[in-house]
Amino acid sequence: MPTYFHKLNECEEWCAKWYGEHINEYAKANGLTECKVAEGKSGVTIQVEGIGAEWAFAKMHNIFPNTNVDGPNHVDFTMPSGMTVDVKSTDHPRGNLLVPLRFNLKNSADAFALVRGSTKDGFDYVGWVSAIDFFKKAEKRRMRDWMPLTWFFDASELNRELMK
């Protein structure tokens, strides 16, 4: 099984940092509520790491990264096939695919992808799942007592191949 890894270069890392900070400021200025949660990390840090994961996903798939500066968007990419993708990331080495509970088949991207890692150490592409399969198999879980319920999908169930 092939593995896909990308370490952001200095320019990509700087761009991810700038873009993540810019999106965070746009969201705050427009009254959007912070949905990303992680123990001991600020929303900005989580946003920057998420953008870094998206850029690594783009490099692995040989597509342009998202550079829309009009605020956060749950559709991170439109693949050449027309499929829309929401890239989720975690720095947990065995992390699973988590999606906010507010999403369902009608308001999500066509597929979800999981990328693990950090801008400092690089990113591993774990795989992807169609939204149809995700919502058939995902479970509602509370990952920590203080966290909200979320959709949980085991990473071992993901398609490991790159998206077409």
Q: pLDDT tens across 6-36, in order?
A: 999 999 999 999 988 888 888 788 876 665 5
Q: Is residue 130 part of a domain?
A: yes
% residues pLDDT > 90 (the chain) = 69
> Where in the sequence is the domain holding 73, given as residue range(s)?
4-156
- Is residue 105 assigned to a domain? yes
Q: What is the CA radius of gyration of the chain?
A: 15
pLDDT of residue 69: 64
Per-residue model confidence as pLDDT tens digits over 43-69 = 788 889 999 999 999 999 999 887 776
In a domain, 103, yes or no: yes
Question: Domain for residue 162, yes or no?
Answer: no
For the whole model, what pTM was predicted?
Answer: 0.91
pLDDT of residue 90: 94
Task: Label the pairing between strands 139-141 and 150-153.
Answer: antiparallel
Q: What value, to the nearest 5°, has the Cα angle with vertex 50 and ends 103 and 105?
A: 15
Number of domains in the chain: 1
pLDDT in tens, 66-102: 777 666 678 899 999 999 999 999 999 999 999 999 9
Query: Which of 29-33, 107-111, 120-124, 158-162 shows the lowest per-residue confidence on average (mean pLDDT)?
Result: 29-33
Average pLDDT, rounded, for the chain: 90
* Residue at 163 is within a domain: no
Q: Would you state the pLDDT for residue 1?
A: 53
